Amino acid sequence: MRPYCIYLRKSRADMEAEAHGEGETLARHEKLLLEVAGRGQYNVTQIYREIVSGETIAARPVVQQLLQEVEDGLWAGVLVVEVERLARGDTIDQGVMAQAFKYSGTKIITPLKVYDPADEFDEEYFEFGLFMSRREYKTINRRLQRGRLASAKEGKWVSGTSPYGYERVRVPHDKGWTLRPVEAEADIVRFIFRLYTSGEEDGGGALKRFGTYSLALRLDAMGVPPPRGAHCWSNVTIQSILQNPAYAGKIRWNVCKTKRRIINNTVCVERYIAPPEEQVFVDGLHPPIIDEAVFLAAQEIFAQKGPPPVPARSIVKNPLAGLLVCGKCGRRMVLRANAYGGELVCPNRACDNVGSRYRVVEERLLQALDRWIGDYRLEWSDRLPEEQQTLIDLKEKSVSKVQSEIETLKKQLARTHDLLEQGVYDTEMFLERSRSLSARISAAQETAEALAVDLAEEKVRAASRKNIVPKVDRLLDVYGTLPSAQAKNEMLKEVIERAEYTRLSRERKNGMADKFELILFPKLPPSFGE
């Protein structure tokens, strides 16, 4: 019998309600759905929580995982507060969601209704609910955008994150946000603009201006902490500071927009500059850190250097993108073009990990994967190993034992009413016995849920161990014939979690120019105790 799961998502409206003191949304929804599960006797073994206001499935990793498990037939049903919590994306996302539940036979259970995908009318009702959810989302989004536009025109700060050198604070005696300088960081901002526009004296007394890359090196050498989340200063970070009019006391809004296009059956997001009449550029309510004249001087220098290159569309060009990580600092390795077909390097300037030719690393990774699957095939057959099957059997027996105990306790609890009616129990004894049995039932149910989750996880591990062999075999057979780097990358990500790369020097050893260590981490969940 397939178990059930609960999906919880906090929407933007929920966040606004919490701000007004209505309580924590996910906790309330979880309690409600657990009550629904109790009334319907749905065996819930997993609760998924997502705190993201994403329009598309692509922007919501938790629902992506849930959708994959639904497609695999893992769940008998999914409990949600309302169907709108599942998908508010475009018609494509809604179609993907509807088909996943339909073809897997997975029910959607809300406090008001149970949607059975096998039922024609339920299917139509579900699809209509998704449509209305999309319409509601668009309405809310338009209202929010109008509100942000109005706030920006008033000089308020409408972006979520404050720029380096400022902190976000409430507007006094009004709604909305503004910026307040953080003096220690503000001094660094002034320092950046001064060295970029005016420079500093060299040994001969002449002024020498700094470029963005030189400024990044200088700040790292001075020991200045980079903006939050960064490992070191970069020229990109410096450029973003120099081109941000907020430091001159200005508010810039609605400048960059996006549009989606289908290219080679792939949805690509492109950025473009909005027409001047749609842009907002006004004096902000916040104090400037630098003079407007200094900011304009920085922009003139940028203009002399010409516009930055237009970034390519978001299409994967490196088959190892997102898979190869630096064995020293943990950053993702990047592909840098050269005359030898590209070099994989660590983007962290402070890291001394030496890069290697892409073709050599790729070949080494495939060889390592081939060796690993050969060893793995010797250890695992189509039948589960005796130890793991024994473990699963023991956990199944534990679940069965606890479920039997729960049924016994429920019968005892029901009998207390008969004993009260017969006069065997007085009121006080009845209440005491009811409290005791209810507590024991609750404890047993918690134990049963924990055991069921534990069992489900162990079975997923076992299935993964069995399915990994054909996946790797197919990858090794067709990898060289795949038409694009993106196709190779997608296939590698199905079987590899990551690969750690480490190279200590560029010295040749035994005639090999690329002597490095590569540690492979296949997508194989460990058993308990490993």
217-238: pLDDT as tens digits: 889 889 899 987 777 888 889 9
Averaged pLDDT score across all residues of the chain: 80
55 three-state secondary structure: coil
H-helix or E-strand containing 65?
helix 61-71
Residue 524 has pLDDT above 80, yes or no: no
Residue 372 has pLDDT above 90, yes or no: no
Tell the CATH superfamily of the 166-305 domain: Putative Large Serine Recombinase; Chain B, Domain 2 (3.90.1750.20)
Q: Which of 257, 235, 253 is nearest to 244 (CA)?
A: 253
78-82, 119-123, 436-440: segment of lowest average pLDDT: 119-123
| Contacts by 221-224, CB closer than 8 A, 24 or more apart | 224/188
The span from the CA of 409 to the CA of 407, in Å, is 5
Both tokens of residue 518? 């590569």
Mean pLDDT of all residues in 434-446:
82
Q: What Cα–Cα distance (Å) separates residue 516 from each residue in 32, 356, 369, 391?
A: 55, 8, 16, 39
Q: What Cα–Cα distance (Å) separates residue 412 from each residue in 25, 421, 434, 440, 447?
A: 36, 15, 9, 11, 19
| Alpha-helical regions (H) of 380-504 | 386-421, 427-478, 485-495
Q: Which of 247, 269, 246, 239 is nearest to 257 (CA)?
A: 269
Residue 430 has pLDDT above 80, yes or no: no
Residue 466 has pLDDT above 70, yes or no: no
The span from the CA of 63 to the CA of 84, in Å, is 13
Q: Would you kindly state where each structural domain of the chain is located, as residue ranges?
A: 4-153, 166-305, 316-530
What is the torsional sign of CA 39, 45, 50, 54? negative
Helices 91-104/61-71 angle, 10° precision: 40
Residue 384 has pLDDT above 60, yes or no: no
Q: Are 85 and 53 in contact (CB under 8 A)?
A: no
Q: What is the pLDDT of residue 245?
A: 93
Q: What is the pLDDT of residue 190?
A: 95
CA 400 from chain center: how many Å? 36
H-helix or E-strand containing 177?
strand 177-181
Q: What Cα–Cα distance (Å) separates residue 328 from each residue in 231, 333, 354, 512?
A: 13, 11, 10, 22
Does this model's pTM top 0.75? My answer is no
Q: Which of 91, 84, 5, 93 is nearest to 57 (CA)?
A: 93
DSSP per-residue string spanning 116-167: -TTSHHHHHHHHHHHHHHHHHHHHHHHHHHHHHHHHHHTT---SSSPPTTEE
The span from the CA of 424 to the CA of 418, in Å, is 9
Q: Which of 379, 332, 330, 373 is nearest to 479 (CA)?
A: 373
What is the torsional sign of CA 233, 237, 243, 248? negative
Residues in the chain: 530
The span from the CA of 284 to the CA of 280, in Å, is 11
Amino acid identity, position 11: S
Residue 354 has pLDDT above 80, yes or no: yes
What fold does the segment set 4-153 form as a domain? Answer: Rossmann fold (3.40.50)
Q: What is the pLDDT of residue 289?
A: 95
Model confidence at 311, pLDDT cuts 50, 70, 90, reads: very low
CA 17 from chain center: how many Å? 24
Strand partners, 282: 251
Model confidence at 456, pLDDT cuts 50, 70, 90, reads: confident
Model confidence at 39, pLDDT cuts 50, 70, 90, reads: confident
Model confidence at 367, pLDDT cuts 50, 70, 90, reads: very high
Strand partners, 78: 5, 108
Give me the residue label for tokens 């842009």. 279
Model confidence at 250, pLDDT cuts 50, 70, 90, reads: very high
Between 137 and 139, name the one with better pLDDT.
Answer: 139
Q: Which of 323, 319, 349, 344 is nearest to 334 (CA)?
A: 344
H-helix or E-strand containing 169?
strand 166-170
Strand partners, 287: none
Q: Are 271 and 166 in contact (CB under 8 A)?
A: no
Mean pLDDT of all residues in 385-402:
74
Q: What is the pLDDT of residue 402?
A: 87
Both tokens of residue 39? 């009334």
Q: Which of 164, 178, 194, 186 is nearest to 251 (CA)?
A: 178
Model confidence at 338, pLDDT cuts 50, 70, 90, reads: confident
Model confidence at 526, pLDDT cuts 50, 70, 90, reads: very low
Q: What is the pLDDT of residue 451?
A: 83
